[in-house]
Amino acid sequence: MTESFFDFKGSSIRFRHRGKGKAVLFLHGFLESLEMWDSIAKNLPKSIDPICIDLPGHGQSDSLAYVHRMEEFAECCDALMTHLGKRKVILFGHSMGGYVALAFADLFPDLVSGICLMNSTAKNDNPQKKKDRLRAKELVKQNHKSFIRLAIPGLFRFKNRIAFRTELNEVKRLALKTPKQGILAAIEGMRLRPNREILLKFPPYPILFIIGKKDPVIPFDSYASQVQLSEKIEALVLEESGHMSHIEEREKCEESIRKFVLKS
């Protein structure tokens, strides 16, 4: 994988990719960075070009503004595809990355050949979740590092916090590199995002949901109505996973991703 940077609206954006092959764009979640995809990207067939990006305000990418709307993240991803000369792309999004994938599909439908939503949803925040986002912003303003240290364990299924202690600490270590402004901008962008379930009704491409049965962030029962919207939607339910399926059930998660990429 080659690492490089490109310019988007005057900001430096980091990405990695392999080179030639079918383009698969991997979109990390809130407080994450492109490193989360290292194992998955490494194990994909050579016919695939895995493209991993640090979304603005995360990892080593600069922030763009005081609010990072999902649409602006999507525009950044489109600029990267143009930069690399890619015309069609399969989108993989974890959590917030799934919101970005759906925003990309909404803005650039002709460029999409498949979407995987991993521990993510097409629904927007309900009123209580919007209030929780505002409270989170206040905590971040007080001490963003304390916020991160408290938030990361809550992404794992409770019993997995011990079983995957090493991995959890690595996620926390990388998350602590996220600047305060990037955190605040992303929280507000997620709070403002619209419902995009309409994109699931008549998709011209396949869609895969990877769902953690024990996800503490997105309730399992919230998926039922979404996965039934189209015959082109598949769902993999990981019985032992919380919100971090790529860690908590890595092998099953990676195998489903490989199969989806090859057939999309």
Phi, psi of 171 (to 5 degrees): -60, -45
61-98: pLDDT as tens digits = 999 999 999 999 999 999 999 999 999 999 999 999 99
pLDDT at 20 over 90: no
Tell me what the pLDDT averaged over the chain comes to. 97
Read off the amino acid at residue 87: R
- Look at residue 19 in the predicted model and tell me its pLDDT: 87
Please report, for the chain, how many H helices and E strands are present, in that order.
Answer: 11, 8
Distance, in Å, from the CA atom of 97 to the CA atom of 139, rounded to the nearest integer, reads: 23
* Burial classification of residue 45, based on how many CB atoms lie within 10 Å of its CB (0-12 exposed, 13-18 middle, 19 or more buried): exposed
- Of 17, 60, 59, 13, the closest CA to residue 42 belongs to 17
Q: What is the DSSP letter of 45?
A: -
225-257: pLDDT as tens digits = 999 999 999 999 999 999 999 999 999 999 999
Structural domains of the chain in order of their starting residue, each with its CATH number: 2-263 (3.40.50.1820)
Prediction pTM value: 0.97
